[in-house]
Amino acid sequence: MRRLRPLLALLLAPALVGCFASGGGSDAASGAEDGSRLRVALAFPPAENLSPYGADSTTLTRLGVIEGLTTLDANGAAAPALAASWRRENDRTWLFTLREATFQDGSAVTPAAVANALTHATKAKPAPAALSGVTLTAKAEGATGVRITTGRSDPVLPLRLSSPALAVLSAKAYGSNGKVDPVGTATGPFELTKVMGATAATLDRYDDYWGGRAQAPGIDVKFVADGTARANALRTDQVDLAEAIPVAQAATLDKAGREATATTRTTSLLLNTEKSVFKDAALRAAARQAVDTSALAKGVYEGYADAGAGIYGPAVTWAAGKRTEPVGRAKAAEPDGTRITLATYDNRPELPEAAQVLKQQLEKAGFDVALEVREYSRLESDALDGRFDAFVLARNTLVDTGDPVSVLASDYTCDGGYNIAQLCDKDVDRAVARAEDTADTAERQDAAMAAEARILGTDAVVPLVHQRIITGVGTTVRGALLDPYERTLVGTGTRR
């Protein structure tokens, strides 16, 4: 597999020269006096037409397009964004005070507009992961206030509202058919002006951004699922920023041109607990016992990862000291040639190779494994519908809200909106609910780890590795935003 990578890079080079040529035309001319447009290669083509309610929302925050009422600071705490401040009025009600800001269509960010945006999010199908198990209502209060009431006590609501999926867009964004259009309707420093399907997008600077004028006049984005192609584009100066560089390509980049960031991302093997083979807990236990995580960390990830320890990895610094043993694991059964379908996606370049190693490990244990690899946007709906027996997923455990409990609710509870494992276990649901109801930070962490122990005990998820993400950064680029939550990449100070 690795011998093919240099050849693949050479084959793709001519095509990429055209893909990443200068913005050209009026865009290039407009940037001449004010710096150059940024050229960015992203790994994930839009899976939901850039709707803010799913995985595409993170793409929009990384490009500086959308914002919510709050954001995450460097310590993972809620910080002001469109809301300048907030206070808790009682167990279920919070009042958020808005700053003065405008949408990119020129309309004002008013309490009514914010309430409208949040109301649409609560009605989205499927529900955004940040709202898994949560109900809320938002109402305008005076000239600057938005009162948000939750169905039950939600002590981390300001943190929850930092979710990219709860971004605030103008009224023009929301169509009668339930679709949401972020083109020209957001509030960030860069305005999405054109989307070319799943291949490219154009963004221009939004000069009236409340946080100050961005230094780059715009961004030209290409969605390039192949990791070798992204690395090659950076090497040949066709892009300025390239996300998710394959570990096998890292050494081919100048040391100054690659940044390895410890993240809260965990790559896991998810087993379908609802039907077919892995409905049997004993066979899930057999699959878990077959996996050698250290071989994945050292071999596939070449040291850019740690062996899987749990749902939360080393970047979640408090987790290791609070982790307890999994609860209620079944005794492993003999697979005896049981056939399973293992699926993953190739946008994150190590995943197909990790899946191939897993295939070998599972076959050695007695499973008969068929491997299926697709681009993520062509795979997501089937994965969420439970059409695979097993799925290899790289998931940032804090990306949805910054709250450690949120990923447990969305990924592992009966009503979870991103429950690829199809897990529905009453003990898990109770443990997650206890964590959701806990306000004190330290106690909430303890409750999250107790819920993690319950989830791991079902063997619905087998943590494989905790990953460090490699970002390709051109030598002329300044101000790239790399964070463990993987929500940011380009901001007002990013330039070349």
Q: Report the CATH number that the domain containing residue 36 is assigned in CATH.
A: 3.40.190.10
CATH number at residue 138: 3.90.76.10
CB 253 within 8 A of CB 231: yes
How do 38-42 and 241-242 pair as beta strands?
parallel
Query: Is residue 369 over pLDDT 50?
Result: yes
CB 485 within 8 A of CB 396: yes
Question: Does one domain contain both 305 and 341?
Answer: yes
What gap in Å lies between CA 202 and CA 184, rounded to an integer?
A: 11
CATH number at residue 277: 3.10.105.10
Q: Hey, what's the torsion of the CAs at 419, 313, 377, 167, to 10 degrees?
A: 80
Domain end (from 221, 254, 287): 254
**324 domain-assigned:** yes
| 105-114, 279-288, 319-328, 392-401, range with the lowest pLDDT | 392-401
Domain end (from 201, 228, 254): 254
Assigned token pair, 467: 């990953």
**477 domain-assigned:** no
**124 domain-assigned:** yes
Question: Does one domain contain both 446 and 334?
Answer: yes
Can you tell me which residue has the tokens 């062996």?
A: 307
Query: Is residue 5 over pLDDT 80?
Result: no
Domain that holds residue 308: 264-468
Strand, coil or helix: 33: coil
Residue 79 DSSP label: E
Question: Does one domain contain both 283 and 232?
Answer: no
Cα angle: 445, vertex 447, 448; to 5 degrees: 65
Length of the chain: 496
Question: Does one domain contain both 339 and 395?
Answer: yes
pTM (two decimals): 0.77
What gap in Å lies between CA 464 and CA 394, rounded to an integer?
A: 9
Question: Does one domain contain both 461 and 385?
Answer: yes
Question: Does one domain contain both 352 and 215?
Answer: no
Domain end (from 212, 235, 254): 254
- What are the tens digits of pLDDT across the range 355-367? 999 999 999 999 9
| 39-43, 47-51, 97-101, 255-259, range with the lowest pLDDT | 47-51
Question: Does one domain contain both 445 and 305?
Answer: yes
Question: Does one domain contain both 286 and 192?
Answer: no
> What residue type is assigned to position 330 of the chain?
A
Nearest to 206 by CA among 222, 185, 190, 195: 190
For the chain, the average pLDDT equals 90
Which pLDDT score, from 0 to 100, does residue 176 have?
78
Cα angle: 318, vertex 157, 132; to 5 degrees: 85
Question: Does one domain contain both 371 and 389?
Answer: yes
CB 20 within 8 A of CB 222: yes
Question: Does one domain contain both 289 and 353?
Answer: yes
Question: Does one domain contain both 313 and 428?
Answer: yes
* CB count in 10 Å sphere of residue 139: 15
Strand, coil or helix: 446: helix
Please give the average per-residue pLDDT across 161-188, as a whole number. 93
Domain tally for the chain? Answer: 3
What gap in Å lies between CA 229 and CA 5, rounded to an integer?
A: 9
DSSP 461-494: EEEEEEEEEEEEE-TT-B-----TT---S--TT-
Question: Does one domain contain both 30 and 151?
Answer: no
